[in-house]
Amino acid sequence: MLSHTEENYLKALFHLTSEEVSGKSEAGTNELALTLNVKPATANDMLKKLKEKKLISYEKYGKISLTPTGKKQAIQVIRKHRLWETFLYEKLEFTWDEVHEVAEQLEHIQSSKLIEKLEKFLNYPEADPHGDVIPNAKGEMKILTRKTLTQVPVGKTCKLVTVKDGSASFLQYVVKVGLGLSSKIKVVSRQDFDGTMEIEVEGKKSSVSQKFADNLYVL
């Protein structure tokens, strides 16, 4: 059984060594310490312990990576985190930005029955409120083709999960069009010439550029 702290280190390592997230497959001590808000000395001690437990591969002055076992454990924590986020958002009316902090605590609750029942209760969701894939009980993560609005065919309706560009000017534009997290967007038409599209959000129609549509991730 892993301690909360050990679980947090594994989770951080998973993100740091995941090509999709960080673009690298190995992490360093300082980098790890930075993401966990501890001093490098502290992280170093934990690395020794995790190596001892065969959860990471690591040699003195070398790079760090997760062993298959370590990766499995990390994914289980991530699974729990994302299921709890979904619960908080969908059932308890938490907002998008409030879910993370509480899920950081809930992810450490030990009970496989709990997490299976929770998943069932939520009707086996594929992604959390941020649009990140929820691994299944076996730890398999569906490669979620995070589509942009540009890729949605005419006539189809989709749901906004997150934005690529987080700049204030872009976000203000997003709000102006009537969009928010989880907004349903219907693609009414698209010009072949420049990709300009007409969309409908809660009955309100707007015309948006391809550049705009490229910056919206939808599910």
Partner DNA sequence: TTATATAGTTAGATTAATCTAACAAAATAA
Partner DNA sequence: TTATTTTGTTAGATTAATCTAACTATATAA
DSSP 132: P
Cα separation values, 147 from 39, 108, 181, 216, Å: 38, 31, 15, 8
Interaction partner, residue 94 (a copy of itself, DNA, none; CB < 5-8 Å by kind): a copy of itself
State the first-to-last Cα distance of the chain, in angstroms, to the nearest integer.
Answer: 36
Q: What residues from 93 to 122 belong to the interface with a copy of itself (CB under 8 A)?
A: 93-94, 98, 101-102, 105-106, 109-111, 113-114, 117-118, 121
Interaction partner, residue 49 (DNA, a copy of itself, none; CB < 5-8 Å by kind): DNA
Residues 99 and 88 sit within 8 Å (Cβ to Cβ):
yes
At its nearest, how many Å lie between a copy of itself and the CB of residue 82? 17
At its nearest, how many Å lie between a copy of itself and the CB of residue 109? 5
46 binds DNA (CB under 7 A): yes
CB-count burial class (<10 Å; 0-12, 13-18, 19+) for 102: middle
Other CB atoms within a 10 A radius of the CB of residue 202 amount to 11
SS3 95: coil
| Residue with Cβ nearer a copy of itself (31 or 107) | 107
Interaction partner, residue 92 (DNA, a copy of itself, none; CB < 5-8 Å by kind): a copy of itself
At its nearest, how many Å lie between DNA and the CB of residue 46? 6
Give Dmax (Cα) for the chain. 61
| Residue with Cβ nearer a copy of itself (59 or 93) | 93
| Residue with Cβ nearer DNA (44 or 136) | 44
Cα separation values, 186 from 105, 137, 157, 189, 202, Å: 37, 33, 4, 9, 9
CA 213 to the chain's CA centroid: 21
At its nearest, how many Å lie between DNA and the CB of residue 114? 21
In the complex, the residues that contact DNA under the rule CB under 7 A are 3-6, 28-31, 37-42, 44-49, 60-63
In the complex, the residues that contact a copy of itself under the rule CB under 8 A are 88, 91-94, 98, 101-102, 105-106, 109-111, 113-114, 117-118, 121
